[in-house]
């Protein structure tokens, strides 16, 4: 039996999205920028998707920019905004951001911009006092994820959005679909990705508050009001809209169900000697652990041999032998950070699957420890 507990990396397609994709790919589609009837039909479908996404976010249609995913959306927000500012301008990102935000910000530091990484507490939440101490008169951007992708901590987006400020706030909301997307009233930019919601890989969007402009990353066309060149991906846009609508409609029942699943798993794992659960104030769909004396790799291999899919944190960094940057930023030792195991749940996870994993984890950990001689 195969058990998939890696929804924070990517979620299986929701049945509604799969049905939509089948319908779309069985039709003839024109280029949405073409003037003939096929192009006009494609444009109508494309703009319908934009309207549906705007309704989900309670945004204006002109505030939605379609992208190839959240990596591009994060890059467009951070690089696109800061490259319009004078060299020497300052930006802040938290120390536990996704690599697509972290590395975009780091690239700016080599272009003459000033960068600070805001520290987090042992529980994985932004240290607000330390963050305020980093603010400067020339701070132009703050980027913060709504829910951390490795340990699931919910970040204080509302507190930052409510500050009296001259800087812009970008929020990576990729992992916040289960709990609900943040209120946009105090947010300037927000990134989303379809494949975390049961949509396809390669589909995302950036909310950009009306009146703001970004330096484009992609050039060569007038698409997205000159903000993002490239042939409009009509099917990807429709799939993102469908995934968002289904997620929103089923949110209440799924929060309750997933919370119960996580609690059951954590009750069992906490009884394993040397187990440490990471984070507090977390989204229900993520449960991250390390087991003293065991690195992540042998555990993940044994889990995979048992037919269980989990991860050691961000899928974008899964092939790195370095310790989790998120866990070390939380104050844990590098050797502990190398043991990070993340279980994440979603719309297709069953109680039987979680119970099976909970029963088998003690044996898996014991075998890994004996193999390592610990």
Domains and CATH numbers, the chain: 3-11+251-372 (3.90.1150.10), 15-249 (3.40.640.10)
Give the CA distances from residue 355 to residues 3, 60, 214, in Å, rounded to whole numbers and listed in that order: 11, 44, 48
pLDDT digits (tens, 9 = 90+) for 8-56: 999 999 999 999 999 988 886 788 888 898 888 888 999 999 999 999 9
Query: What pLDDT shows up at residue 262?
Result: 97
SS3 of 334, please? Answer: helix
Cβ neighbour number for residue 61 with a 10 Å cutoff: 12
Annotated catalytic residue: which of 24, 56, 205, 316?
316
Question: In order along the chain (374 residues), what is the average pLDDT of each group of 10 residues?
Answer: 95 97 85 85 92 98 98 98 98 97 97 98 96 97 98 97 95 97 97 98 98 94 90 94 98 97 96 94 96 91 95 61 87 91 96 95 89 60
pLDDT digits (tens, 9 = 90+) for 116-138: 999 999 999 999 999 999 999 99
pLDDT digits (tens, 9 = 90+) for 61-71: 999 999 999 99
Q: Are 328 and 334 in contact (CB under 8 A)?
A: yes
**Distance, CA of 151 to CA of 167 (rounded, Å):** 28
Beta strands in 78-154 (DSSP E): 90-94, 114-118, 139-145
> Is residue 316 among the annotated active site residues?
yes
């Amino acid at each position: 039996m195969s058990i998939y507990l890696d929804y924070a990396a990517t979620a299986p397609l929701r049945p509604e999205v799969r049905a939509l994709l089948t319908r779309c790919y069985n039709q003839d589609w024109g280029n949405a920028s073409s003037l003939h009837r096929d192009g006009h039909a494609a444009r109508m479908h494309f703009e319908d998707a934009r309207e549906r996404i705007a309704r989900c976010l309670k945004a204006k249609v002109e505030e939605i920019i379609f992208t190839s995913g959240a990596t591009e959306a994060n890059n467009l927000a951070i690089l696109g905004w800061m490259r319009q500012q004078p060299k020497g301008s300052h930006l802040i990102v938290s120390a536990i951001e996704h690599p697509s935000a972290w590395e975009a910000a780091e690239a700016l530091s080599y272009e003459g911009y000033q960068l600070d990484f805001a520290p987090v507490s042992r529980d994985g939440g932004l240290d607000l006092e330390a963050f305020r101490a980093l603010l400067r008169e020339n701070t132009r951007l703050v980027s913060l994820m709504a829910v951390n992708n490795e340990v699931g901590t919910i970040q204080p987006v509302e507190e930052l959005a409510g500050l009296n400020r001259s800087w812009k706030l970008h929020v990576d909301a990729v992992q916040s679909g289960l709990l609900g997307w943040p209120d946009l009233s105090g947010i300037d930019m927000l990134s989303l990705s379809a494949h975390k919601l049961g949509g396809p890989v390669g589909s995302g969007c950036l909310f950009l508050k009306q009146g703001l402009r970004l330096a484009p990353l992609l050039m060569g066309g007038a698409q997205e009001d000159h903000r993002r060149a490239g042939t409009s991906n009509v099917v990807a846009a429709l799939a993102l809209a469908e995934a968002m609508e289904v997620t929103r409609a089923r949110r209440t029942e799924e929060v309750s169900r997933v919370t119960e699943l996580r609690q059951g798993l954590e009750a069992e794992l906490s009884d394993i000697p040397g187990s440490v659960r990471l984070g507090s104030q977390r989204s229900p769909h993520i449960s991250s652990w390390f087991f003293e004396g065991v690195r992540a790799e042998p555990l993940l291999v044994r889990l995979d041999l048992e037919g269980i899919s989990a991860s050691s944190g961000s899928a974008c960094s899964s092939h790195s032998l370095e310790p989790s940057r998120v866990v070390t930023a939380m104050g844990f030792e590098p050797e502990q950070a190398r043991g990070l195991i993340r279980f994440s749940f979603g719309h297709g996870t069953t109680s039987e699957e979680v119970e099976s994993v909970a029963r088998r984890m003690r044996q898996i950990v014991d075998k890994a420890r004996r193999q390592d001689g610990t």
